[in-house]
Amino acid sequence: MPVNALTVVRAGALTTVQDLGRPGYAHLGVPRSGALDEPAHRLANRLVGNAARCATLETTVNGCALRTGAAVTFAVTGAPCPVRVDGRPGAWGAPVRAPAGAVVEVGPASAGLRSYLAFAGGVAVPPVLGSRSRDLLSGLGPEPLVDGASLPLGPVCGPPGAADAVPCAAPPTAELVLPLVPGPRDDWFTGDALRTLAGGGFRVSPASNRVGLRTEGPALRRAREGELPSEGVVLGAVQVPPDGRPVVFLADHPTTGGYPVVGVVPAPALAGAAQAVPGVAVRFVPVRG
Amino acid sequence: MTTPGPGRPRALPVGRDALLLEVGGPEEAQALHAELLRRRTAGDLPPVREIVPAARTVLLDGVADPRALAADLTRRAVPPLTTEGSAPVVLPVHYDGPDLAEVAALWGVAEDAVARIHSGCEFRVAFCGFSPGFGYLTGLPERLHVPRRATPRTAVPAGSLALAGPYTGVYPSASPGGWQLIGRTDTVLWDPDREPAALLSPGTRVRFEACP
């Protein structure tokens, strides 16, 4: 094992290696994947002096813990959470130095769902199709973390970034407001479907995952029946299955789909969707393309 | 977004940086996809992150000015698909699938005729999806189209050759599936460590060869 490898002490509920994903392969059925809260991923990398494309760890709900092989700088962003080095509190949203053999702990999220843990040099597992992201839909990329696993780190590429304040949106706790550009298949729904979307009667479903943010609430009514032949689907597409409950497609979404897409949430708004816990109210605000 | 001229694709807006081009059917979608690839190679298409063909559409994703591109693409006629180009990929197949008898009955032929009929057709990858490297192959005459199985299988082995509706497909990896299985190939269709990872991509011509 290389001296600068990490050992997983506590994998957490779901911790995956993520980077900016593998765009450019949708025509082969390969999802884009990548960090669900991309601004948080980029910030974590910046704080430790990494390029944006370096891989970080994306935790879910209850964090994770790793033992360092050598002294290393790390940073935690995304969902706010306790950060500890050998049990002693460390800063969230700032570079932290951990000595060799120390246990770096990311605690449970106090708000939001997903925290991002960047190490100087980045997690250097072998890339698949140019990306180290774990894609949970098609199973590409490194397996989710398991206790005892070892993760190599790459060579340190720059000094940690200094920051007085970190620009980071707070996770949506009361309501997730998502802008929505109608189309391409909004004409498959009745005229009041957009009003229903804007009405705010939806909640984040516990069935949400990296593939999609599922919702509970009123059903959107179809203006036309029948089946739509499968067609290409983009990140942020709001697909409506036969039960009428909108699903917002996130990073691991399938590249084609056969249910009509009523509108698209522009990518910058999806970081909020990545952090919305089950039960949070969801409102779609129609905007012009 | 834009009204097409006769024989031109219709453009539908998709968010802020994508558009969906819709045509009349699968043949036209394949022709449009081939034409878009030709234009991209010729430097006659603005930068685009993804070009995703499907049953009767082609999605262009990651476009700087989708409105301008839509106006341009709906103005120009799409030349019909030509069958020229590179040699087809040949996949050796054992025609011994569990649904062979059912497909033979649906076709009204003897079981051993299925291999001869199927391997006599020339196929083309219309589009991919379902799982990485899974191609939807067109080329089966309409009278040979078969319905999906009433109950999907929970496990279909990798390499299974399958039919559903107008499409033929080969499962690149083991997965659940509801298509009729007529055979299997040992050829690896999907290997992320190989370049290219997918043996079949949209536009690839394919022929099946019956193994003795």
User: Contacts of residue B58 in chain A, CB cutoff 8 Å?
Assistant: 232
Interface test with A, best of B50, B63, B130, B191 (most A CBs within 10 A): B50
Please check whether residue A27 touches B, CB under 8 A.
yes
Q: From A260, which residue of chain B is nearest by alpha-carbon distance? A: B14
Which amino acid, A92?
Answer: W
Closest CA to A105 of A213, A25, A8, A40: A8
pLDDT at B84 over 80: no
Output the CA angle A176-B1-A222, nearest 5 degrees.
Answer: 55
Residue by residue, pLDDT tens for chain A (289 residues) are 567 899 999 999 999 999 999 999 999 999 999 999 999 999 999 999 999 999 999 999 999 999 999 999 999 999 999 999 999 999 999 999 999 999 999 999 999 999 999 999 999 999 999 999 999 999 999 999 999 999 999 999 888 876 666 777 789 988 999 999 999 999 999 989 989 999 989 999 999 999 999 999 999 999 998 889 999 999 999 999 999 999 999 999 999 998 999 999 999 999 999 999 999 999 999 998 7
Q: What is the 3-state secondary structure (H, E, C) of chain B?
A: CECCCCCCCEEEEECCCEEEEECCCHHHHHHHHHHHHHHHHCCCCCCCCEEEECCCEEEEECCCCHHHHHHHHCCCCCCCCCCCCCCCEEEEEECCCCCHHHHHHHHCCCHHHHHHHHHCCCEEEEEEECEEEEEEEECCCHHHCECCCCCCEEEECCCEEEEEECEEEECCCCEEECCEEEEECCCCCECCCCCCCECCCCCCEEEEEECC
Do residue B57 and residue A26 have CB atoms under 8 angstroms apart? no
Closest-CA distance of chain A to residue B66, Å: 10
Residue B11 has a pLDDT of: 96
User: Structural domain boundaries of chain A?
Assistant: 5-152, 175-286
Interface test with B, best of A188, A234, A249 (most B CBs within 10 A): A234
Which of A29, A128, A266 is nearest residue B133 as measured by Cβ atoms? A29
Residue B6 has a pLDDT of: 55
CA dist A276 and B13 (Å) reads 27
Where residue B14 falls among pLDDT bands split at 50, 70, 90? Answer: very high
Count CB-CB contacts under 10 A for residue A129.
Answer: 21
Contact (Cβ atoms closer than 8 angstroms) between residue A259 and residue A224? no
User: In order of start, what are the domains of chain B with their CATH numbers?
Assistant: 10-74 (3.30.1360.40), 89-210 (2.40.100.10)
User: Contacts of residue B53 in chain A, CB cutoff 8 Å?
Assistant: 27, 232
Does pTM surpass 0.80? yes
Q: From B14, which residue of chain A is nearest by alpha-carbon distance? A: A184
ipTM over 0.85: yes
Interface test with B, best of A231, A233, A262, A270 (most B CBs within 10 A): A231
Domain A175-286 CATH superfamily: Cyclophilin-like (2.40.100.10)
The encoded tokens of residue A33 equal 């994947």
CA dist B26 and A43 (Å) reads 44
pLDDT at B5 over 60: no
Residue B179 has a pLDDT of: 96
Kindly report, residue by residue over B144-186, the tens digit of the pLDDT.
Answer: 999 999 999 999 999 999 999 999 999 999 999 999 999 999 9
Which of B14, B128, B129 is nearest residue A234 as measured by Cβ atoms? B14
The encoded tokens of residue A3 equal 């001296």
Which of B13, B52, B134 is nearest residue A232 as measured by Cβ atoms? B52
Q: How far is C-alpha A227 from the geometric centre of its chain's CA atoms?
A: 31
Closest CA to A235 of B83, B186, B134, B52: B52
Residue A165 has a pLDDT of: 67
Contact (Cβ atoms closer than 8 angstroms) between residue B116 and residue B95? no
User: Contacts of residue B61 in chain A, CB cutoff 8 Å?
Assistant: 26, 232, 234
Torsion sign across C-alpha atoms A143, B161, B31, A232: negative
Residue A229 has a pLDDT of: 92
Helices (H), chain A: 38-47, 193-198, 270-275
Please check whether residue A264 touches B, CB under 8 A.
yes
